[in-house]
Structure 1
């Protein structure tokens, strides 16, 4: 059984589409179909059934997907342990970070890595959570920081810290002693929000659904600086963790109110592809991120 075929099959099973899996793997659809056919011939069983909307797993395919994830995960850990025997930390590590988390941790991470591992080269890409996840799945990124939610089963994910979400407003819209606001009152305000592919928007949408209220932003923008600028111009309110706006809040350019009833929070997750072995450099970055997360006072903004 070919490991490359197994890895390709896992992506097909997860996405339920040969075309989408081929795009993720940077392969042509005919090439991916050949891999699938060879795997089915090797196992002498049918793994997928074609449907009008893509493909679905047969009973044998479901069994293979579950076992393959375990096998590929064990193999990745074995290869990582063997690579860690090298004493000098070198190489190049590609890291993806969403903007709000990047403001909090990127500077400290680079500083710590330059101090601990001067021969290690790193590249840091700032992207939305969905784009960071896609970068991990395609192999473009080695390590990613994600927000909890619909994280792919092909990724390992462990929590780094928790952050509460606050309503961010122009100072003229907030009474001097006002520090909290009910979520139902938030939904009645003109909101400036990220687009639906952003994890924060999904969190807001879920809470609105539970409250039986619509979430209807007046403006959608995925760039953090755009959200902040529009609120500063008093064009609406947005929702963000306080840790991503330390300068604006400390100088009074913006005001933050904790959202209650319910309180909204999210976890910041450290993530990497389960079936891809981590280099010594990548493991060094993981350990450094864990160390930094344990020392920064950014969990809930209290």
Structure 2
């Protein structure tokens, strides 16, 4: 098994076509087919099912493709680190962002990294904290934002900020940033909520239980975008971090107010792998991510956020 075979496997898996994979790899189609068949012969399993809709990974193929991607990514990273261009920090870095922070952080982070470190290839994944932590543990992320997490055997955690949760409603509800709303008052509305098992749902349910508050839940979803869409569709109010609704409120699509009685806050942290050496490119991107988070807090682009210093004290 060689690198050409691994590249052929991953490329066919991604595009679902030997013909298209051959174009991307600058090979003739029979060459790609031979590489796939050689792998199947060596492994003694079928990696793809040839269907009317293209090449579909088998269960064994999916496992092999996942491992091949990681191997190729590590090799590309190592090559970039030992052969930097003109002394610049170089390499491939995969960053995880919480879904609620995309609008606030994604574009500024990419812009800053590209301007200051043009030889870093940035990959960005988004998801909920539980997914991001699992991807970090699996080696699919170099650095990520997480929330309500302390150090684990596999993850080093650096506190960044705490942020308040907000009630979110249609514009006609007239919620205002300068007029906090009690959780009990929010509970009088039908609610669109994160699905059970989601860390944000656990945080909200815990606050409600401690205050003997019951919710009338109309819809549950694991998507922040869908939470907002269902609110716009008239299915109820919802509860979200402030960073996730800034653009919608500014555009007049939603109205929102910080929660009180009780105030519910979550802690956002920077997570990095505890084991192994963090590549120089990943260190640079981690520093830039922290810088962008702090700037968002200081400029008010991250509503109701309080920055934490190295001792964990809110500022």
Measured against the shorter chain, the TM-score band is 0.5 to 0.7
Q: In the alignment, does 2:215 pair up with 1:212? A: no
- The separation in 2 between residues aligned to 1:116 and 1:244, in whole angstroms, is 27
Q: Give TM-score scaled by structure 1 length.
A: 0.67
Distance apart, 1:149 and its partner CA: 4.3
* Cα distance, 1:174 vs structure 2: 3.2
User: What is the aligned partner in structure 1 of residue 124 from structure 2?
Assistant: 124
Select the structure with the greater relative contact order (CA < 8 A; seq sep ≥ 6): 1
Q: Does the Cα contact within 8 Å between 1:161 and 1:299 map onto a contact in 2?
A: no
Whether the 8 Å contact between 1:191 and 1:238 is mirrored in structure 2 is: yes
Q: Deviations over 1:150-180 (max 9, x none)?
A: 7744211112232211100012233789822
User: Matches of 2:253 and 2:289 in 1, distance apart?
Assistant: 30
What does residue 33 of structure 1 align with? none
Contact kept, 8 Å, 1:163 with 1:298, in 2: the verdict is no
Structure-2 change in CA distance of 1:242 and 1:264 (3 Å): same
Q: Give deviations 1:242-285, integer Å, cap 9, x for gaps.
A: 32222221122211022101111212211011113210110001
| 1:170–1:150 CA distance, 2 compared to 1 (3 A) | farther
Q: For residues 208 and 182 of structure 2, what CA distance do their matches in structure 1 show?
A: 12
> Structure 1: 5+ residue runs without aligned partners?
1-25, 27-82
Cα distance per residue 1:117-171 (max 9 Å; x no partner) = 1000011011111100000111111111111147744211112232211100012
Distance verdict in 2 for CA 1:130–1:215, change over 3 Å: farther
Q: Paired residue for 2:4?
A: none
SS of the aligned residue for 1:165 comes to: strand
Instruction: Confirm or deny that 1:229 pairs with 2:229.
Output: yes
Q: Give the aligned partner of residue 275 of structure 1.
A: 275
- What does the per-residue CA deviation read over 1:83-103, in whole Å, with 9 as the maximum and x for residues that have no partner? 89x853111111111211122
- Determine if contact 2:177/2:257 at 8 Å carries over to the other structure: no
* 2:262 match: 262
8 A contact 1:99–1:128 mirrored in 2? yes
Indicate the residue corresponding to 2:290 in structure 1.
290
**Unpaired stretches in structure 2, ≥5 consecutive residues:** 1-62, 64-80, 306-315
Partner Cα separation in structure 2 for residue 177 and residue 292 of structure 1: 23
Tell me, in whole angstroms, the C-alpha distance in 2 between the residues paired with 1:193 and 1:261: 19
Which structure has the larger Rg? 2
Comparing both structures, which one devotes a greater share of its residues to strand? Answer: 2
Q: Distance in 1 between matches of 2:175 and 2:281?
A: 49
Matches within 5 A, 1:111-190: 111-149=111-149, 152-174=152-174, 179-190=179-190
CA–CA separation in structure 2 for the residues paired with 1:239 and 1:150: 24
Distance 1:277 1:102 in 2: 28
TM-score by length of 2: 0.64
Matched pairs, number: 221
Report the RMSD for the aligned CA atoms in angstroms. Answer: 2.6
The Cα offsets for residues 16-59 of structure 1, whole Å up to 9 and x where unpaired, read as xxxxxxxxxx9xxxxxxxxxxxxxxxxxxxxxxxxxxxxxxxxx
